[in-house]
Amino acid sequence: MPLQHSLFGDHHAGTEPAEEPEGRSSHIIKEVVVVDRLKNLEEKIAVVVDRVKALKEEKISLERKIRELETVLDEKNQEITSLRNEKTTIKSQVEELLEELETLEI
């Protein structure tokens, strides 16, 4: 049966090779090259997978930190609101006391 070329230059059943067969050692060298390419690709994929895992962990950590900081921000905003209300109350009390003092001085 005729052979077909794959992406890696090896032959499969289906069509005839573009060149004459080069011999057993040439075929072995091509297989070694293909295996090396696959190992290289596998290593690159492993690096990418590890990087994705690290990024996911970092994302989870950053999301947790965001939630913590949002909680702190909410608490500080509540404290600011409370202090503003207290300031308004104290201001009103001081104004009332000043008015009373003015009436006493008359």
Q: Is residue 13 part of a domain?
A: no
Q: Is residue 62 part of a domain?
A: yes
Q: How many structural domains are present in the chain? A: 1
Q: Is residue 42 part of a domain?
A: yes
Structural domain boundaries, residue 88: 23-105
Distance CA 26, CA 29 (A): 5
pTM of the model: 0.54
pLDDT tens, residue by residue, 91-101: 999 999 999 99
**What SS3 class is residue 79?**
helix
pLDDT tens, residue by residue, 20-31: 455 677 777 777
pLDDT tens, residue by residue, 40-76: 999 999 999 999 999 999 999 999 999 999 999 999 9
Report which DSSP code applies to 14.
T
End-to-end alpha-carbon separation of the chain, Å? 122
